[in-house]
Amino acid sequence: MGRRRRLKFVHLASTVWFLLGVGYILILALREAGFNWWVVFSLSGHGAVMFFLLISIYLFAIFRGIGSSQKEQVEHPLTSTNYYMVFYLIAPFLGGLAGCLGMIGVSAISKFLLGVAWGTFGMTFLVWVIVDPVVVLLEMLLPASRRHRSGRLAVAKARREKTKMDRERLLAEVFAKEELNLRCWRKMLKTKAEKLAMLLTDDKIDFKQAGYEAVDIGVSAWQIGGLSCMRELRNMAIDLCRQNGQSKAIVDYIPVWWDGIGSWRNLSFQ
């Protein structure tokens, strides 16, 4: 069993122990307040789901922190050590042990268990909520920690900026390449665009024959540049129709004619 798996197991066991202690305190408080057992079990049943969700989220956060190297040893010379991590994780057990020692001589089982539960709760709260944040804050105020953190943040910022610049340069290259392709396609497709515009506007051409010719043109455009080339060719044909003052009289059959060519689907031009 690796170090991280052992730490996860210890933390799971300590968390379960802590929940048992808190649960015992709550149940005993409800009983002393005069609630019947069926009321206690009813309340615990309704709260079981919330407890499970909260603990699942909490354990996920802790396991992620244990499993990753979030703490730099230079910035956290104490809390990054194995001794401190073990002390942090076994805090509930230490509290339970302190409660046992404090309740020596108590004969009543309920009071003895209550002392153990309060010891568990008190030590866990003290270490996890008060001591650990204070120690981490003091570590971050050390000169060496501050210098290392500043350098690390500067390196991370430079890396992010470089990634952003690389992404922007890549996008610029893609747009430039696309614009170059469009210019080349406009030269290559001029005749085909004129033919398509004629098929859309000439009423004397048989509609079925016009569809066959449009399909041949669409296949050619697909072979030249795929879906983008087909869209550009269609736009060129529609623009030619508009330039000739026929935009109101035409019906755009191109999406229907080209449906099924390559990855072109009807209305895919939108």
* Mean of pLDDT values over 33-44: 52
In the chain, the amino acid numbered 72 is E
**Rounded percentage of the chain residues whose pLDDT exceeds 90:** 7
Place of tokens 């396609």: 185
Measured CA to CA, the distance from residue 249 to residue 242 in angstroms comes to 10
Place of tokens 């098929």: 199
Residue 60 lies in a domain: yes
Residue 211 lies in a domain: yes
130 and 209 share one domain: no
204 and 88 share one domain: no
Measured CA to CA, the distance from residue 154 to residue 69 in angstroms comes to 19
Q: Which of 201, 222, 206 is nearest to 264 (CA)?
A: 222
Q: Assign 167 a pLDDT band (cuts: 50, 70, 90).
A: very high
Place of tokens 């000169």: 143
Given a cut of 80, whether residue 40 has pLDDT beyond it is no
Residue 154 lies in a domain: no
Region label for 34, one of left (φ > 0), alpha (ψ between -120 and 50) or beta (otherwise): left
Residue 52 lies in a domain: yes
Residue 265 lies in a domain: no
- Total domains in the fold of the chain: 2
Q: Which of 246, 243, 249, 268 is nearest to 257 (CA)?
A: 268
90 and 205 share one domain: no
Of the residues 110, 126, 141, the one at which a domain ends: 141
27 and 128 share one domain: yes
Given a cut of 90, whether residue 162 has pLDDT beyond it is yes
- pLDDT averaged over the chain? 78
- More confident: 216 or 1: 216
* Mean of pLDDT values over 191-208: 83
What is the residue range of 68's domain? 3-141
Given a cut of 50, whether residue 12 has pLDDT beyond it is yes
The per-residue pLDDT for range 56-113, each reduced to its tens digit, is 545 544 544 444 444 577 788 888 888 888 888 888 899 999 988 888 888 788 888 8
Residue 177 lies in a domain: no
Q: Which of 226, 234, 221, 231 is nearest to 188 (CA)?
A: 221
Residue 66 lies in a domain: yes
Residue 149 lies in a domain: no
Q: Looking at the whole model, is its pTM more than 0.75?
A: no
Measured CA to CA, the distance from residue 131 to residue 129 in angstroms comes to 6
136 and 230 share one domain: no
